[in-house]
Amino acid sequence: QVQLTESGGGFVQAGDSLRLSCTASGSSFSRYRLAWFRRTPGMEREFVAAIDVRGYSLYDDSMKGRITIFRNDAENTMDLQMYNLRPHDTALYYCAAGLPTGSPLEVRSYNYWGQGTEVTVAS
């Protein structure tokens, strides 16, 4: 079992940067593929970024070049550094963890989810 808690969301202006963090409790954190998803009202969760157990990362095209995902297995943390934020990046951002099976882009590949942290980007 893994419990995930996000932090770092907030209200920013377009062009600003923000760093989201995800802290995990439980065991075997290093076994899991980790990811960030986001959801806007009325929409399904959409993939943002993932990092596998070897540290290889994958990014959604809409945010590629503006985000970097990190993991620190010794501290059971994962971060998402976001740059040059735009109003359409406004969403509830979730961290997720799952065993490295299935597509990293899909919600169903992840068994554990945090409650989300809100990011609002003003124009």
Q: What is the pLDDT along the chain (123 residues), one digit of tens a residue?
A: 899 999 999 999 999 999 999 999 977 889 999 999 999 989 999 999 999 999 999 999 989 899 999 999 999 999 999 999 999 999 999 999 999 999 999 999 999 999 999 999 999
DSSP H/E element including 90? none
* C-alpha to C-alpha distance for 24 and 65, rounded to whole angstroms: 26
Closest CA to 69 of 22, 27, 114: 22
Cα–Cα distances (Å) from 6 to 3, 25, 78, 85, 101, in that order, read 10, 12, 9, 18, 23
* C-alpha to C-alpha distance for 61 and 74, rounded to whole angstroms: 29
Contact predicate 100/32, CB 8 Å: yes
Task: Give the CA count within 13 Å in the CB-facing half-sphere of 13.
Answer: 0
